Amino acid sequence: MTDEVTYNPTMPYELDRRWHSQAAQMTALARELSGAPIGGLPAIAKDAARTFLSSWEEIALEAELASEVYAGELRETGISYENLDAEIARRMSALKGGSA
């Protein structure tokens, strides 16, 4: 067993795609919740239903925002690693007497 850490350069972009997908799903969910009909409920249940749907709509919108933030952070991490790899390659090339 080693303490080695490996980096897969495609994963930040794949995870970015997945978080964007989740954000889109949460946006769609919030839209559905905001338009959910409550007309068939008894009058006494309508306020509770509105509160329930409104609360879940808010949760879905917060999840959408969090998903977008995670996606952005993963994208920035991927770019940072790519830039670091390129800089290391440039320096190694310079040490070997190659041109940068």
Measured in residues, the chain has a length of 100
Q: Is residue 88 part of a domain?
A: yes
Q: Is residue 6 part of a domain?
A: no
Amino acid sitting at position 99? S
Residue 28, pLDDT above cutoff 80:
yes
Q: Is 3 among the domain residues?
A: no
Q: What is the pLDDT of residues 76-85, one digit of tens each?
A: 888 898 899 8
Domain carrying residue 68: 11-36+51-95
41 within domain boundaries: no
Digit-coded pLDDT (tens) for 48-78: 999 999 999 999 999 999 999 988 888 888 8
Mean pLDDT throughout 86-100?
A: 82
Q: Is it the case that residue 30 has pLDDT exceeding 60?
A: yes
Task: Provide the 10 A C-beta neighbour count for residue 31.
Answer: 13
Residue 1 has pLDDT above 60, yes or no: no
What total of structural domains would you count in the chain? 1
57 in a domain, yes or no?
Answer: yes
